Structure 1
Amino acid sequence: MAWKSSLAGIASVTAQESWTPPQWALMERQLIDTLNQAAKEFVQKYVRPDGTLNWRSDWPGMDGSDDPYEGFMYLALLYAIGGAEELREKALHIWEGITWQWTEYGQIYRDFDAYYDWMHHGEGYLFFYFLGLADPFDLKSVQRAQRFANLYTGDNPEAPNFDSENKLIRSPITGSRGPRHEMSEEDWCTHRGILDNYLAPFEDIPGVDFASGTCAWSDDKVYQDVIRLMNERMAKGDVPLNLNATSLISHAYMYSGDEKLKTWVLNYVQAWADQAAKNGGIIPDNIGLSGEIGQYNDGKWWGGYYGWRWPHGFLTIIEPIVNASMNAVLLSGDLDQLRLARDQLDRNWALGHEDNGRWVTPTKHFDSGWTAYRLPSPLYPIQLWTVSMAEEDAARVDRIDLMPYDQEIDVPEYSGTNPITGKLTKHYNGNTVQWFHYMRGKNPAYPEQILEANFKLVSRQLQKMRSAEGDPENWKSDGFSLGALSSIHKWQEMCPVYFEGLLQLTLGAPIHTSHGGLQHGRVRYFDAQAERPGLPTGVAALVEALEADSLTLSLVNIDLHGEKQVIIQAGTFGEHQFEEVTVLSQEDQVKEIVQADGKWFRVELLPGTGIRLSMKMRRYVNRPTYETPWGDPKDNVKLLRGREQG
């Protein structure tokens, strides 16, 4: 076999102990098969042969290119963890089709969103990041990653989004056409009906009662005033939301290893830490083009775009900080890069008070002070804990009064709801807290529970997709009615390719944050025989426990007729290093100890066998990369060069 020669330097072990497949292993393999079939049906229903989506003939405003990407992004990620071979080609084909289609609509220019904010860029470009895991040698994806990064490093004069001297992104609204310092009424036209029910972005809009909690964007006079004030106060300068751009730069770094990209990420995170320090520790939400806090906002550190006042408050402050801090650790190996995220979580906690026996913290800041107190979200400290494995981050989770969620967890069906608010979560990813407690030794039945719940979600989505609600002919009406505009979200609402539980159990990590977080993980897998990413057909994996310097992993080959060759990688991006692997029996007895000393470890699974491994590792010691056991894109993909015209 080819793997024997090409992978000869990788430490290995052979599983010879026959296992009766555990229930979780059978459920994983059945779920993967079900997802493969569901993905095929989903694509056949909504995608034309040319890769474009069967939809309306026009789409106005600057919003919307993120939503079709979100609807189909999990095709690439499912392939990367072991989905059907055809998913790789379909994912690349559909990404091209969507990019072309939304270019024709007018939202995308030179393959990247012309201009919008980094909450929506973050959502849409998850698909692009997942392509790096699915096919790191695709020339178009590699070249685009470098070109897209240049939009934010100051290396593209056509899109001067970044001020290298002041280390700031020049607007909350940026993209391939550069910073958008003057937004138009057309830019926001698709939002008017939706934002009628949102808090006003400013406290002094003529004719608007800010205390009512609503703002009539549908009223033409109010709408004109809102756009005028946004251009005066919000459209110029930097906001914390822009920290989500660090994922785009980190993604490009994983392909190229260009140290300039790493430096950009670290410097940009530090620049925001410096702004927080200047503001007494609380991160400000608007920085002027001069670098001055509140330059266009009467000196106020609150009131910026997607900032402390409007529309979501702390959510769109802390999430990009967490994403950027994790990216900085990934690129530098320095766990102290989490300090900005930790500090903001702790400062927010300190601003809280007890309410009916529970500690609540402010999510917004108005001119009158802190307000909108809520139970804090445990999702952000959990993400930090998966990187640090530090008890201080676990304590940040445990201090939140989760009520039943800090005890044994029951997941009778997949609700896809946030454990705090009860509201539906993005992409039905609602079980991060439950996974965390499983990793902390609670609820050993969690793997079977979450896989059962995951099956129910896929079944529910398929039923919805096959109903009249899922018929694309009912979505295609052009126009500006709220119903016609809401069709932009239909692919996400109908998509049956959701697998939070499967990803948690196999990668030993929570699923990425939905507004632009990279998919960090303790391990990932390659099929040595097929020379592709993901678990081989018939193989199931379960990360049972995580420690700072080790993990416990079980692999099972449910195929009684064929052997399998699995390569385990230390970290999603090979950022970790295996040191020593202890082979355990199902009864936890030590059977063999193997010296690994590398970021890959190979397991040969004979038919019907299983193996349990305790894998010692050093974390964040390797350069993160999209390298596979068969090559590195920086060495194997030669970028194209255009003509130099005088």
Structure 2
Amino acid sequence: MTSDRSVVLTATVPVGTPPVWALLQRRLFDVLDDAWRAFADRYCAPDGSLRYAGRVEERDGGDDFYEAFFNWPVLYRLGGADDLLDASKHHWRGVTAQLTELGLVVDEFERGYDWFHLGESMLLFYGICAADPADPEFAARARKFADLYLPGSPSGNYDPVARIIRAPHNGAGGPRFGLQKEWASYGADLTSMSRFGLPLRDLDGITRWDDLADPAHARRMGDAMNARIGRGDTAVDLAATSLAVNAWLYDHDDRYRDWALDYLGAWHERAVACGGVLPDNVGPGGTVGELHDGRWYGGLYGWSWPHGLYSVGNAAVVASVNSVLLGGGDELLSLGRAPLDAVLDHGIEAPVTGTDMSISDRWLAELGDDADRPTLLVPNRHADTGWFDHQPPQLGLPLWLLHASGAESDRDRLERIRKASGYDWRTVRAFRNKEEAGHEAPWLAYLNGDNPDYPAEILRVALGQAARRLELIAADTTDPSDMHIHHWQRINPVLTEALLQLTTGTPQVLYNGGLLPTRLAYWDAGRGRPGLPPDVAALVDTVTADRVRVELVHTGHRHPRTVVVQAGGFGEGRIERVVTESAQSGHPGDPRAYVAPEPVLHSGEIPVGAGHLTVELPPGRRIRLDLRLTPRHRPPSHQTAPV
């Protein structure tokens, strides 16, 4: 939290009949605090590790262990249980020791893997750092991890001359050339990968998946993958800049800022040279296409294989958000913008059902019955034959660009997608995907004033999904030796998407390595910690570049609460003024009357000129704050407490 002066406001408007959303929101906090305890009791050992006795591949699995807890510190930051922060740290330490024993972690960091997965594994760590920046142990780790990628690091991950991360698999063990040994022979028996097609499409005699049934072809494909996909830099490594930004947020050590901006700048220059579209590969000499006959596509987790936009776009937008945090200039936002515009320019109109796509299950859940309706589909992948693998746009990507920039061009991109969609953006469906995202469309409709029931509906969905997972936990008799390595993340009962949207005006975190600069942040003055106080619910209904409107409701009847409202989760914003309302005294009225008197409201504008303001909430009172902001008034930083 920021330490400058703070205006103090007192809520005077009676709550009267409590709004449904406020009661559901407080109920969700209560349910989630029960839920994470139930998960820990069922799946965790006393040392914080996960009970697991199954197989772990040579270079896979570390992310899956950390992902089981990825959003727990976020819940704490929003107002979860006091002991949730210590629990998050306990499980991080336990899992890290567990993975060290399994050989996947060295000196508390992944030995060497790709940043599509490393980004997933780091969310728990980033969340702990943001929730408790005063913890010297995690602050030291943040710097240690970021140091692995600085020029001159003994790890050797980074080549400052070529301005590349030297191998797609990288980490505490330095560049780890090649791919996992399980892919040394890449054959047709790898059925889980068949839907993504051939990793390389230019090998003589291997033109379709079934050709890999020949052991000679499988070995040749494995050799080529190790030699070409397993060397040089790849676009998903852009997510490594989150390590540097996270370390920089502690004390603004410019070593981290300088490296991140230089690395982002190198990729920006490559994109400009490729006509604007972000390439996915750079060879050991620093040249795009060096290992792919000049192609800008073909790298690991790149445009051609296996996920395309799902991996490249995520890393690109993570990079764009990081560039804004570092004050790197709007031109670096093109890293995230250009890929989205490229695929939008090649969009088609077709239904999800009946369209050949590599990932369809998530869209069947998100669209429900509307999956049969023609809608905008954009290509996720590119090969010699052009763009292919059309799927609905992932709204979290353009939404995070708007969240970071506030620019009208980013707002226009979302409106372009909405107009081309063949389904009603107001519909709220009861699903939860791996990223715990996907409800961006109805939330945006709400913020645009076109979906007034969204807060209550999304909270009901969250409560239902949490209840389902609690039932799955209670009924789960799976033996640790038979447990799938994705089992825990599939059953994690903590849900933060709805709470982030409604209380802070912020989308769900970008899952493959994003930091979480929330639009608003809260501090519970009574407990001296981040988050909303007990009994207090918050609802953001307006978000623009320089304005946020939020309502705070005290749903309790006994204890007064004091909440500090901050502009920006990293303290980067400044509240210039606030428009608020007050009520004349007179409530609850004459006891002989059958109803309470209607409050007489008065609106007024108050200058603030600070990073935060303080609100005193007597029981049964509410207040609406229309905050007028300067969004990037000061450099962002990890905050400890307001004064």
Asked if Structure 1 and Structure 2 have the same fold, meaning a TM-score greater than 0.5 normalized by the shorter chain, the answer is: yes
Distance, in Å, in 2 between the alignment partners of 1:18 and 1:252 is: 44
Relative to 1, partners in 2 of residues 1:260 and 1:234: Cα closer, same or farther, differing over 3 Å?
same
**231-240 or 122-131, larger mean C-alpha shift:** 231-240
Q: Which amino acid aligns with 2:323?
A: A
Q: Which amino acid aligns with 1:399?
A: R
1:386 aligned residue: 403
Return the match for 1:267 from 254, 262, 267.
Answer: 262
Q: Which amino acid aligns with 1:233?
A: R
Which consecutive segments of 4 or more residues in structure 1 shift more than 6 A? 187-191, 402-406
1:132–1:141 CA contact under 8 A, matched in 2: yes
1:407–1:442 CA contact under 8 A, matched in 2: no
2:452 aligned residue: 444
1:123–1:514 CA contact under 8 A, matched in 2: yes
Q: Deviations over 1:271-326 (max 9, x none)?
A: 11100111222222111121111111222222111111110112212111111101
Aligned pair count reads 603
Q: Deviations over 1:45-64 (max 9, x none)?
A: 11111111111065232101
Return the match for 1:608 from 608, 615, 620.
Answer: 620
1:542–1:554 CA contact under 8 A, matched in 2: yes
Q: Which amino acid aligns with 2:129?
A: G
1:638 aligned residue: none
Q: Which amino acid aligns with 2:627?
A: M
Relative to 1, partners in 2 of residues 1:281 and 1:13: Cα closer, same or farther, differing over 3 Å?
same
Residue 108, structure 1, aligned to residue 116, structure 2: no
Distance, in Å, in 1 between the alignment partners of 2:194 and 2:425 is: 41
State the Cα distance separating 1:189 from its structure 2 match.
Answer: 9.8
Q: Deviations over 1:74-108 (max 9, x none)?
A: 22111111000111111100000000001100101
State the Cα distance separating 1:565 from its structure 2 match.
Answer: 1.0
2:376–2:420 CA contact under 8 A, matched in 1: no
Aligned runs of 1:217-232 on 2, under 5 Å? 221-232=216-227
2:431 aligned residue: 415
1:134–1:533 CA contact under 8 A, matched in 2: yes
Distance, in Å, in 1 between the alignment partners of 2:493 and 2:462 is: 10
Return the match for 1:68 from 65, 69, 73.
Answer: 65
Distance, in Å, in 2 between the alignment partners of 1:338 and 1:406 is: 29
Distance, in Å, in 1 between the alignment partners of 2:545 and 2:616 is: 26
Distance, in Å, in 2 between the alignment partners of 1:89 and 1:265 is: 30
Q: Which amino acid aligns with 1:202?
A: L
In structure 1, runs of 5+ residues without a counterpart are 417-424, 478-483, 632-646
1:641 aligned residue: none
Q: Deviations over 1:478-528 (max 9, x none)?
A: xxxxxx6xx110111111111311221001011011111112321011111
Aligned runs of 1:408-557 on 2, under 5 Å? 409-411=426-428, 413-416=429-432, 425-467=433-475, 470-473=476-479, 475-477=480-482, 487-557=484-554
1:199 aligned residue: 197
Distance, in Å, in 2 between the alignment partners of 1:588 and 1:288 is: 69
Distance, in Å, in 2 between the alignment partners of 1:189 and 1:442 is: 54
State the Cα distance separating 1:426 from its structure 2 match.
Answer: 1.9
In structure 2, runs of 5+ residues without a counterpart are 352-373, 584-598
Return the match for 1:365 from 360, 378, 382.
Answer: 382
Q: CA RMSD in A?
A: 2.6
Q: Deviations over 1:443-466 (max 9, x none)?
A: 011000100111111011111122
Q: Deviations over 1:233-288 (max 9, x none)?
A: 11221111111111121111112211221222222221111001112222221111
1:93 aligned residue: 90
State the Cα distance separating 1:374 from its structure 2 match.
Answer: 3.7
State the Cα distance separating 1:120 from its structure 2 match.
Answer: 0.2
Residue 293, structure 1, aligned to residue 293, structure 2: no
Q: Which amino acid aligns with 1:476?
A: S
Q: Per the alignment, in what secondary structure is the counterpart of residue 543 of structure 1?
A: strand
Relative to 1, partners in 2 of residues 1:600 and 1:281: Cα closer, same or farther, differing over 3 Å?
same
Q: Which amino acid aligns with 1:440?
A: N
Q: Per the alignment, in what secondary structure is the counterpart of residue 629 of structure 2?
A: strand
1:582 aligned residue: 579
Distance, in Å, in 2 between the alignment partners of 1:41 and 1:117 is: 32
Relative to 1, partners in 2 of residues 1:567 and 1:401: Cα closer, same or farther, differing over 3 Å?
closer
1:639 aligned residue: none
State the Cα distance separating 1:133 from its structure 2 match.
Answer: 2.3
2:394 aligned residue: 377
Relative to 1, partners in 2 of residues 1:498 and 1:358: Cα closer, same or farther, differing over 3 Å?
closer
Distance, in Å, in 1 between the alignment partners of 2:576 and 2:93 is: 41
Q: Which amino acid aligns with 1:593?
A: E
Distance, in Å, in 2 between the alignment partners of 1:144 and 1:294 is: 35
Aligned runs of 1:312-391 on 2, under 5 Å? 312-332=307-327, 334-352=329-347, 360-391=377-408
2:609 aligned residue: 597
Residue 175, structure 1, aligned to residue 171, structure 2: yes
1:281 aligned residue: 276
Q: Which amino acid aligns with 1:199?
A: G
Distance, in Å, in 2 between the alignment partners of 1:141 and 1:187 is: 35
State the Cα distance separating 1:194 from its structure 2 match.
Answer: 2.5
**100-109 or 166-175, larger mean C-alpha shift:** 166-175
**371-380 or 237-246, larger mean C-alpha shift:** 371-380
Relative to 1, partners in 2 of residues 1:108 and 1:556: Cα closer, same or farther, differing over 3 Å?
same
Relative to 1, partners in 2 of residues 1:99 and 1:235: Cα closer, same or farther, differing over 3 Å?
same
1:195–1:215 CA contact under 8 A, matched in 2: no
Q: Which amino acid aligns with 2:434?
A: K
Relative to 1, partners in 2 of residues 1:207 and 1:197: Cα closer, same or farther, differing over 3 Å?
farther
TM-score (norm 1): 0.88
Q: Deviations over 1:352-406 (max 9, x none)?
A: 4566975544322222333333443333212111222333212211222567777
TM-score (norm 2): 0.88
1:205–1:222 CA contact under 8 A, matched in 2: no
State the Cα distance separating 1:207 from its structure 2 match.
Answer: 6.2
State the Cα distance separating 1:221 from its structure 2 match.
Answer: 4.7
Distance, in Å, in 2 between the alignment partners of 1:193 and 1:69 is: 26
1:234–1:305 CA contact under 8 A, matched in 2: yes
Relative to 1, partners in 2 of residues 1:242 and 1:516: Cα closer, same or farther, differing over 3 Å?
same
Q: Which amino acid aligns with 1:270?
A: G
State the Cα distance separating 1:593 from its structure 2 match.
Answer: 2.8
2:636 aligned residue: 624
**359-368 or 508-517, larger mean C-alpha shift:** 359-368
Taking every aligned residue pair, what percent have the same amino acid on both sides?
35
2:303–2:380 CA contact under 8 A, matched in 1: yes
